[in-house]
Amino acid sequence: MHQRTIGEILAEERTKHHISIPKLAAKTRIRQSYIVALEENKFDQLPAAVFVKGYIKTFGRVLGFDDRPLLALLRRDFKESAEGTLIPREFIAPTLKRFRQPRAITTAIILLVSLFSTIFFYVLFQWYQLQKPPEIFLISPEDASVVGPTVVVRGTTDFDAVLTVNSQPVALQPDGSFETTVQFVTEGVVTVVVEAQDKQGKISTEVRQVQVQF
């Protein structure tokens, strides 16, 4: 069912009273171009909304009809912009929808990318952890240090590695820490070699050279 527009109602009221546009313009002191624009629903050719409301009230007074239903139609079909102009609501809704849709799509894409990135880097990290040899953090002895006939070798490594110091196996604590004593029978520069081997056979080596003095 066709709903009559503001322009159609105004044109019908004017025609019903047998008043021409020039005559109505003279009575209301409203430009003919504005009256034509109103009757043709060309609100983009009209001044600010406050003037349009005033025109409708003036037409109602001059032509003898109740202007309130027309003002209600104006509020239903148009929204007043920040600049005071009238914007058709049928234009606003699709525009907002167009803005909301890309925003929702963009948010979904960002979430998916973040999820896949997290999974990818987690898998990459796990793969790297499997590929690298066990790490050795040797606390003592310090390289090029002067020691006596015995030296304490202390450090940490992966808890499940097999550790040797100068080819001798050393027991690891549950947290991967270790400590053992190496004895020397001669003075001079001596090498301390610490090796850790994981279950896949990958080996890490830490070497310290110390000066032995009795």
Q: What does the pLDDT look like over 41-79, one tens digit per residue?
A: 888 888 888 888 899 999 989 999 998 988 888 888 887
- Structure pTM? 0.42
- Which of 43, 61, 84 is at the close of a domain? 84
Q: Does residue 181 lie within any of the structural domains?
A: yes
Q: How many domains does the chain have?
A: 2
CATH number at residue 56: 1.10.260.40
Mean pLDDT rounded to a whole number for the chain:
87
CA distances to 19, 36, 188 from 40, in Å: 17, 6, 108
Looking at the fold, whether 78 and 143 belong to one and the same domain comes out as no
Q: Does residue 115 lie within any of the structural domains?
A: no
Looking at the fold, whether 76 and 145 belong to one and the same domain comes out as no
CATH number at residue 158: 2.60.40.10
HEC per residue, 85-115: CEEEHHHHHHHHHHHHHHHHHHHHHHHHHHH
**Token pair belonging to 70:** 């027309």
Verify cis geometry, omega within 30 degrees of 0, for the bond prior to 133.
no
Residue 94 has pLDDT above 60, yes or no: no
The Cα–Cα gap between 59 and 104 comes to: 46
As to burial, measured by CB atoms within 10 angstroms (0-12 exposed, 13-18 middle, 19+ buried), residue 154 is middle
Q: Does residue 36 lie within any of the structural domains?
A: yes
The mean pLDDT of 190-211, rounded to a whole number, is: 93
Instruction: Kindly give, in sequence order, each residue whose CB lies less than 8 Å from that of residue 76, ignoring residues fewer than 6 positions away.
Output: 89
Q: Does residue 56 lie within any of the structural domains?
A: yes
Gyration radius (Cα) of the chain, Å: 45
Quote the DSSP letter at residue 132.
Answer: S
Q: Does residue 120 lie within any of the structural domains?
A: no
Q: Does residue 96 lie within any of the structural domains?
A: no
Looking at the fold, whether 75 and 140 belong to one and the same domain comes out as no
- Which of 84, 106, 124 is at the close of a domain? 84
Looking at the fold, whether 77 and 141 belong to one and the same domain comes out as no
End-to-end CA distance of the chain: 112
Q: Does residue 153 lie within any of the structural domains?
A: yes
Range of the domain at 17: 6-84
The Cα–Cα gap between 2 and 41 comes to: 15
- Which of 66, 84, 102 is at the close of a domain? 84
Q: Does residue 45 lie within any of the structural domains?
A: yes
Q: What does the pLDDT look like over 138-189, one tens digit per residue?
A: 999 999 999 999 999 999 999 999 999 999 999 999 999 999 999 999 999 9
